[in-house]
Amino acid sequence: MKPELIRHQKANKKAVLYQNIEVPYFEFPWHYHPELELILVIQGHGTRFIGDSIQTFEPGDLVLLGKNVPHQWKNSSSHYAIPSKSMAKAIVVHFEENFHGSDFSALSEMKFLDSIYSKALRGIKIQGHAHKEISNTLLRMNEQTDFKRVLCLFSILNIIDKSEHCEYLASEAFARQFFEFKDQRFNTVYHYIMQNFHRTIRLAEVASLANLSPTTFCRFFKKHTGKSFSSFLKDLRISYASRLLIEENHAIEQIAYMSGYHNISNFIKHFKQLKKMTPSKYRKANEYLVSYSYNLNKSD
């Protein structure tokens, strides 16, 4: 199912939108929004979908999401068994990247924010001591003024920046669709790959775009991505396939072909290497979204 756009800040006109949510179950659809989101699950368990990441969640789950990253928290079937005795509760904070103003973000002391916002495009699960500090701060924010909530948010972002106990959720390849590289030569190569990954791309072909020999290009590419060209291309194709498995009802063989694979065995092998499960199991884990998308398309 394609994610829905939901806006938060425009309607509320607050720099930091703080919400205490208590509902029978988490009911937001697979969606995205231009604001960043910080969410702490107080009560409830189920499955968390962020980009191409699918994991379980439970009370204490604390995640920071970048702008426009599709996501959903869905309660497990056991949560619905006795709805009157099992409310879903969470603290959710929404804020825009420039909630502090562009001039303020240009100050040297605030440079760390750009790094956090970029990392949050993969979704960040916060753990360890940072989890305790941020959870306590979020609980205190319930009784604070809007101004003090802004100060608390700065404190939270600073804690995340310094923490060594954060886990990235969505794949790097998924997140790169939201990110513009500052190196124009690499930008040219990157966008070419993004437009053509569904077909065979030769190393010499992309090296020529950067006016480099294949050997020099390999070093150039790894410097920018931390990966070899072949590994990056594999990650990108599997990331794209993961999205198709979530958003479309195509046969797995067709998704393999649409993702740049002409050999189904290689596709399944690479998918299992990166996702730790077969494409069919990945789709089954997300079956309710695929079914909903199919029914939605039939009604159009």
Q: Tell me the per-residue pLDDT of 250-284, one tens digit each, with 9 for 90 and over.
A: 999 999 999 999 999 999 999 999 999 999 999 88
Question: Looking at residues 127-141, what average pLDDT do you find?
Answer: 96
Question: Looking at residues 223-252, what average pLDDT do you find?
Answer: 87
Q: Which of 78-87, 114-123, 201-210 has the lowest mean pLDDT?
A: 78-87
For the chain, residues classed under CATH 2.60.120.10 are 4-170
Count, residues in the chain = 300
* H-helix or E-strand spanning residue 47: strand 46-50
**Is 174-299 a domain of CATH 1.10.10.60?**
yes
Q: Residue 88 in contact with residue 43, Cβ under 8 Å?
A: yes
| 105: confidence class by pLDDT, cuts 50, 70, 90 | low
d(C-alpha 39, C-alpha 131), whole Å? 12
State residue 257's pLDDT score. Answer: 95
Whether residue 236 has pLDDT greater than 60: yes
Question: Looking at residues 193-197, what average pLDDT do you find?
Answer: 87
d(C-alpha 121, C-alpha 172), whole Å? 9
State residue 22's pLDDT score. Answer: 93
| 178: confidence class by pLDDT, cuts 50, 70, 90 | low
d(C-alpha 15, C-alpha 104), whole Å? 14
d(C-alpha 39, C-alpha 21), whole Å? 10
Distances (CA, A) of 107 to 111, 112, 115, 120, 300: 7, 10, 14, 21, 49
* Structure tokens belonging to residue 135: 């959870």
Under CATH, what is the fold of the domain 4-170? Answer: Jelly Rolls (2.60.120)
Burial 160-192 (b: 16+ CB within 10 A, else e): beebeebebbbbbbbbbebeeeeeeebeebbee
| 109: confidence class by pLDDT, cuts 50, 70, 90 | confident
Whether residue 212 has pLDDT greater than 70: yes
State residue 78's pLDDT score. Answer: 66
Q: Residue 238 in contact with residue 271, Cβ under 8 Å?
A: yes
> Which of 37 and 184 is assigned the larger pLDDT?
37
> Which of 76 and 127 is assigned the larger pLDDT?
127
For the chain, residues classed under CATH 1.10.10.60 are 174-299
Q: What is the mean pLDDT of the chain?
A: 85
| 183: confidence class by pLDDT, cuts 50, 70, 90 | low
Question: Looking at residues 39-60, what average pLDDT do you find?
Answer: 88
Tens-digit pLDDT profile for residues 214-233? 999 999 998 877 789 999 89
Whether residue 123 has pLDDT greater than 80: yes
